[in-house]
Amino acid sequence: MSATVEFQNVQMSFEEDVLLKNINFQIHKGEKFVLIGPSGEGKSVLLKLMAGILKPSEGKILIEGHDMWNCLPKDRLALLRKMGMLFQKNALFDSLTVGENVAFPMREITQKSEQEIQKQVKYFLQEVDILHALELFPDEISGGMQKRLGIARALALEPGIIFYDDPTAGLDPITSRMIVELILRLQKELNSTIIAITNDMNRAYQMADRMAMVVDGELIITGNVGETQQHKDPRVVQFIHGYLKGPLTEHTEVNA
Amino acid sequence: MISVIDSIGLSVIKTVIMVRDFVVLTLRTLVYTFTPPFRVSDIFKQLYFVINESAPIVIFCVCSAAAVTIIESSFHMKIIIQNDALVPGFAALLILRELGAVVSALLVTSRVGAGIAAEVGTMQITEQIDALKMLGINPIRFLVVPRLIASVIGGVVLSILANLVCLYVAMLVSQYKLGHSAGSFIVAMRAFVSMQDLYFAAIKGACFGFVIPLVSCYFGFRCKAGAEGVGLATTNSVVTISISIITIDFILSWIFSYFY
Ligand SMILES: Nc1ncnc2c1ncn2[C@@H]1O[C@H](COP(=O)(O)OP(=O)(O)OP(=O)(O)O)[C@@H](O)[C@H]1O
Ligand SMILES: [Mg+2]
């Protein structure tokens, strides 16, 4: 069986700057894959490459064995529908209400009747526990609720692969924990593959089947939680323990 | 010396790239404008926005412009030729050939152009555009095309409206201020302008309306993160559109001069 997500020699550059080089890895069906790494190293870019939002400069990205950038438009659309994403900046449509945000993907790309859409919207909002905010606008609800709404919208097309870009950013520890519990519960219910970015190590350990770190343009697959904690690479060691001194901070004042 | 040449070279290259990207955006928008699916309800929503947001300020400003035109021209004509019989003709000429279209377009720029740049820029930095792409929705088809169509139609409508309101107010002012009767104003005016001038004003309105959303969306899509990013996108688009409007006005007036 082919992998759910597969990268073959992927390179990503913006203008002349190479951000990610020669990335090769596979993610399997039902897996919970967590990406960690310092800010600005390209975690979000890696996720957007998987999601078909960015096109790799070189190499191939396969989703369930199909190359999204080398297929018919209708096959590409079918692949896109298998994926949902919670964006780092939420990406909620601020001119639409909470309910309309969840309805938007269904209205745009499915043939569902309005009645069916309303039923689904209520169901998803119930799942993430913000049904009471149905009529409000995204800027009228709290940060935690915005994350929940983002999750509900990501689920709207019932995708098999869900990307979570920093789902706990800016949330208090308790709310973070509730969001992660929600992500895990939904993963179990829907039996989906999830790929999440987080720099909250406790949440990362709680979610991950397998972890990887993005640094210096590379993707270091660090293995399961135990393996990651025992990893030998000094960059991984420094990062997961949050040491001030080490290879990651070599060029900053802290080491000088 | 070298660094000066370097930086000039660099800004030339940057400008060339920007112009190229803008041309690409324009061509792609045109292709999507004339190929289905058409987002008709979005077009109407945008058209309502353009006209509803701009019509009040256009009417208000054009009224002042009309009054100023009449009062100023009569003042100067009285000094030079001791007579203001030609005021209605010259005023109508100035209004129809320049003021109506340009003033309304500049006001639409400050209202609608700035609004579009801020909206699209915010969508860019909050990843809303990425969210659209992930649904397989083309951002140009979804955002630019409805705004372009609405703005071209709105440009024509507002230009004609501005001209008619402006002429009417000019007539009222010359009636009360200079004592020309409505009938004599119209007779004097007809000697200088014709229906053709109104058509040309409408064409100008359409061309200005074409530029506004394209430039605004262009800067919106390039918006860099942070609140300054959106501010910069808005300022850049208003400045660029204003310069474009003045330039296009010059070119069109020149072309139209062959038809007078
Ligand atoms: N569309 C783009 N065009 C140009 N450069 C980009 C683009 N997207 C990302 N970058 C650049 O790529 C680099 C990595 O960005 P990315 O958002 O992936 O970092 P990250 O690892 O997610 O960081 P953080 O933890 O802060 O979210 C940044 O330097 C950014 O400026
Ligand atoms: Mg990121």
Q: What is the CATH number of the domain that holds A38?
A: 3.40.50.300
| Other beta carbons within 10 Å of A244 | 10
Question: How many independent structural domains does chain A possess?
Answer: 1
B59, pLDDT greater than 50: yes
A223, A211 in Cβ contact below 8 A? yes
Amino acid code (one letter) for A26 = Q
CA distance B131 to chain A (A): 6
- pTM to 2 decimal places: 0.92
In this structure, is residue A136 part of a structural domain?
Answer: no
A197 alpha carbon – ligand 2 mean position (Å): 8
One-letter amino acid of A209:
D
- Separation CA A109–CA A97 (nearest Å): 19
Per CB-CB distance under 8 Å, the chain A contacts of B143 are none
Give the whole-angstrom CA distance, residue B155 versus residue B153. 5
Q: φ and ψ at B226, to 5 degrees?
A: 100, 160
Which residues does residue A14 pair with via DSSP β-bridges, in sequence order? Answer: A17
Complex ipTM above 0.95? Answer: no
Say whether pLDDT at A192 is over 90. Answer: yes
Each residue's pLDDT tens digit, A100-109: 999 999 999 8
pLDDT computed for residue B84 by the predictor: 82
* CB hemisphere CA count around B72 (13 angstroms): 9
Question: What pLDDT, in 10s, does the model give residues A60-95?
Answer: 999 999 999 999 989 999 999 999 999 999 999 999
Sheet with A17-27, strands from edge to edge, namely A17-27, A5-14, A58-63, A66-67
Q: Is the pLDDT of residue A255 over 60?
A: no
The length of chain A in residues reads 256
Q: Across B23-100, where does the E strand assignment appear? A: none
The pLDDT tens digits of the residues spanning B120-162 come to 999 999 999 999 999 999 999 999 999 999 999 999 999 999 9
Per-residue pLDDT at A1: 58
- For residue A46, the ligand 1 atom closest to its alpha carbon is 18
DSSP string, chain A: ---SEEEEEEEEEETTEEEEEEEEEEE-TT-EEEEE--TTSSHHHHHHHHTTSS--SEEEEEETTEETTSS-HHHHHHHHHTEEEEBTTB---TTS-HHHHHHHHHHHH----HHHHHHHHHHHHHHTT-GGGTTS-GGGS-HHHHHHHHHHHHHTT--SEEEEESTTTT--HHHHHHHHHHHHHHHHHHT-EEEEE---HHHHHHH-SEEEEEETTEEEEEESHHHHHT---HHHHHHHHT-SSSGGGTTSGGG-
Q: Which of B128, B134, B137 is nearest residue A51 as measured by Cβ atoms? A: B134
Please list, in sequence order, all residues whose beta carbon lies within 8 angstroms of the beta carbon of residue A254, skipping any fewer than 6 positions away: A244, A245
Q: Is residue A112 part of a domain?
A: no
Among B183, B215, B204, B216, CA closest to B255: B204
* Nearest chain B residue (CA) to A50: B134
A91·B137 Cβ contact <8 A? no
Q: Give the span between the Cα atoms of A145 and B75, in whole angstroms.
A: 65
Does a structural domain hold residue A223? yes
Chain B residues lying within 8 Å of A78, measured CB to CB: none
Q: Which of A209, A75, A102, A196 is nearest to A158 (CA)?
A: A102
More confident residue, A143 or B85: A143
b vs e for B83-113, b when ≥16 Cβ sit within 10 Å of the residue's Cβ? ebebbbbbbbbbbbbebbbbbbbbbbbebbb
Q: What is the pLDDT of residue B237?
A: 97
pLDDT at res. B82: 82
Which pLDDT score is estimated for A253?
Answer: 58
Cβ–Cβ below 8 Å for A91 and B136: no
* Per-residue pLDDT at B140: 97
- Average pLDDT on B163-173 reads 95
Q: Are strands A193-197 and A161-165 parallel, antiparallel or unpaired?
A: parallel
Let me know: does B40 contact B146? Beta carbons within 8 Å: no
- Asked if residue A153 is part of any domain, the answer here is no
Task: Decide if A252 is inside a domain.
Answer: yes
Closest-CA residue to B95 (of B187, B173, B168): B168
Cα A39 to ligand 1 centre (Å): 8
Residue A214: both structure tokens together: 């993005």
> Token match 């397998």: residue?
A210
Pick B136's closest partner by Cβ from A48, A77, A92. Answer: A77
Asked whether residue B226 carries a pLDDT value surpassing 90, the answer given is no
> What's the CA-to-centroid distance between A37 and ligand 1, angstroms?
12
Considering Cα of B246, then B248, then B250, then B256, what sign does the dihedral take?
A: negative
Ligand closest to CA A39: 1
Exposure class string for B204-214: b at 16+ Cβ within 10 A, else e: bbbbbbbbbbb
State the Cα–Cα distance between residues B193 and A132, nearest whole angstrom: 63
**Average of per-residue pLDDT across A216-227:** 95
B227 and chain A in contact, CB less than 8 A: no
- B83 versus A76: the higher-pLDDT residue is A76
pLDDT band at A256 (very low <50, low <70, confident <90, very high): very low
Q: Quick check: B135 and A109 CB within 8 A? A: yes
Cis ω before A234 (30° cut-off from 0): no
Confidence grade of residue A111 (pLDDT, cut at 50, 70, 90) = very high
Kindly report the average pLDDT of chain B as a whole number.
94
CA-to-CA distance for B143 and B15, rounded, in angstroms?
25
Beta carbon pairs, A and B, within 8 Å:
44
Protein residues with CB under 6 Å of any ligand 1 atom: A 14, 19, 37, 39-45, 88
Q: Tokens 């300020």 — which residue? A: B57
Determine the longest span between alpha carbons in chain B, in angstroms: 71
User: What's the length of chain B?
Assistant: 260
Handedness of CA A142, A148, A150, A153 (dihedral sign): negative
- Report pLDDT for B232: 96
Domain membership of residue A11 as a residue range: 1-82+162-172+194-256
Please tell me the distance from the alpha carbon of residue A112 to that of residue A157, in angstroms, as a whole number: 11
Residues 6+ apart with CB under 8 A from B179: none
**Nearest-CA distance from A102 to chain B in Å?**
12
Residue of B nearest to A45 (CA): B130
Mean pLDDT of A188-202: 94
